[in-house]
């Protein structure tokens, strides 16, 4: 197999930018980088080892899939690896959490907070950004958001001060609706109850997502908890 150095054609500044001098191999010469013979030199990690270890930290990727991903990237150096490296660098420099809602964007406040077309009478509270993206994909909600950054968990030592609850309570107004779109887990529901308690008597209208039969779901396959929740949340036809 021919090993292609990822740093070939890079200037010294670019090599520094991509961390080629921080993983233990000081000389990024063409014969050095990604050569299997230098996987470990003097107790330091080679670029390839460092890449695999970093990839293995990504959710859903273990060491085996990280090795496959690294090989895939190296084989597609020009078309995938370099554009990905540049995109990662630009994203790391430009993307910041919105100081209002916690969404990620390159501008402050974020595009959702700035959008004058969106409904100002509702704030949808979610645990993390993936939930915001999931709701945005539906296209069914046109209000504002608030990302908590997690849920309360005594077991994991997560208290209200670790989340953006105070910022939420400071921004919500009495004429707004707060949609608590939290996960149907013990932690999610504990967090929802905590926020509801803190807002008691404030005049803020509180709601939460319905729980029950999924679209296309068959009753026979539902667990008892989901079926009970569906029964309790039944609606008049
Ligand atoms: Zn925002």
Alpha carbon of 112 to ligand 1 centroid (Å)? 6
Question: How far is the centre of ligand 1, averaged over its atoms, from the C-alpha of 139 (Å)?
Answer: 17
- Residue 163 Cα to ligand 1 middle (Å): 16
Closest of 168, 172, 165, 179 to residue 210, by C-alpha: 179
Cα(102) to ligand 1 centroid in Å equals 6
Please give the model's pTM, rounded to 2 decimal places: 0.73
- For tokens 């003097």, name the residue: 42
Instruction: Please state which architecture CATH assigns to domain 104-232.
Output: 3-Layer(aba) Sandwich (3.40)
Return the pLDDT at 44.
63
Q: How far is the CA of 153 from the centre of ligand 1 (A)?
A: 25
Distance 128 CA to ligand 1 centre (A): 13
- What is the full per-residue pLDDT of the chain (237 aa) written as tens digits? 444 455 455 554 444 444 444 343 333 333 334 444 444 555 567 899 999 999 999 999 999 999 999 999 999 999 999 999 999 999 999 999 999 999 999 999 999 999 999 999 999 999 999 999 999 999 999 999 999 999 999 999 999 999 999 999 999 999 999 999 999 999 999 999 999 999 999 999 999 999 899 999 899 999 999 999 999 989 899
Residues 88-110: tens digit of each pLDDT = 999 999 999 999 999 999 999 99
Q: Distance from the CA of 151 to the center of ligand 1, in angstroms? A: 19
Q: Both tokens of residue 65? A: 């899939």
- What would the 3-class secondary structure string for 140-202 be? CCCCEEEECCCCCECCCCECHHHCCHHHHHHHCCCCCEEEECCCCCHHHHHHHHHHHHHCCCC
Eight-state DSSP code of residue 232: H
Centroid of ligand 1 to alpha carbon of 124 (angstroms): 12
Tokens read off for 187: 């932690």
Taking the domains of the chain in order of start, what are their residue ranges? 12-94, 104-232
How far, in Å, from the CA of 180 to the mean position of ligand 1? Answer: 17
pLDDT of residue 220: 93
């Amino acid at each position: 197999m021919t090993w292609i150095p990822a740093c070939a054609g890079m200037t010294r500044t670019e090599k520094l930018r991509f961390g080629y001098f921080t993983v233990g191999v000081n000389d990024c010469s063409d014969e050095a980088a990604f050569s299997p013979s230098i996987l470990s030199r003097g107790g330091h990690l080679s670029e390839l080892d460092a890449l695999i270890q970093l990839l293995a930290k990504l959710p859903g990727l273990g060491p085996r899939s990280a090795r496959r991903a690294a090989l895939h990237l190296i084989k597609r150096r020009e078309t995938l690896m370099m554009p990905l490296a540049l995109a990662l660098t630009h994203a790391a420099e430009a993307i910041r959490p919105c100081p209002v809602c916690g969404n990620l964007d390159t501008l402050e406040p974020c595009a959702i907070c700035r959008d004058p077309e969106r409904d100002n009478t509702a704030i949808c509270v979610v645990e993390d950004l993936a939930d915001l993206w999931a709701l945005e994909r539906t296209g069914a909600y046109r209000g504002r958001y608030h990302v908590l950054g997690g849920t309360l968990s005594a077991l994991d030592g997560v208290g209200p001060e670790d989340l953006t609850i105070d910022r939420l309570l400071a921004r919500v107004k009495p004429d707004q609706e707060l949609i608590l779109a939290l996960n149907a887990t013990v932690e999610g529901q504990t967090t929802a109850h905590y926020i509801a308690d803190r807002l008691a008597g404030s005049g803020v209208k509180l709601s939460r997502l319905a729980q029950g039969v999924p679209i296309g779901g068959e009753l026979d396959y539902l667990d008892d908890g989901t079926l009970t929740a569906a029964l309790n949340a039944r609606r008049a036809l």
